[in-house]
Amino acid sequence: MTYTFDPNLAFYVHLADAAFLGFAFLALLGGVIAVGATKLIHNVLGLAAGLVGVAGLYVYLGNHFIAAMQILIYVGAVCISLIFAVMLARPPLEQEKTPLRLPLKIAGGFGAALFAGLVVGNIVLAHPWQPAATTVDASIAHVGTRLLTSYALVFELISLVLLVAIVGSVVLARRGRGLAGGN
CA 140, 143, 146, 148 dihedral sign is: negative
Q: What's the rounded Cα separation, in Å, for the pair 77 and 86?
A: 14
- Number of Cα atoms under 13 Å in the Cβ half of residue 78: 25
Q: How remote is the C-alpha of 147 from its chain's centroid?
A: 21
pLDDT digits (tens), the chain, 183 positions: 455 555 666 666 678 788 888 999 999 999 999 888 888 888 888 999 999 999 999 888 888 888 888 888 888 877 787 777 777 766 666 556 677 788 888 888 899 889 888 887 777 777 776 666 666 677 778 877 887 788 778 777 777 777 787 777 777 767 665 544 444
Closest to 172 in 3D by CA, of 76, 83, 50, 95:
83
Distances (CA, A) of 80 to 83, 84, 115, 125, 145: 5, 6, 30, 35, 29
Q: What is the pTM of this model?
A: 0.55
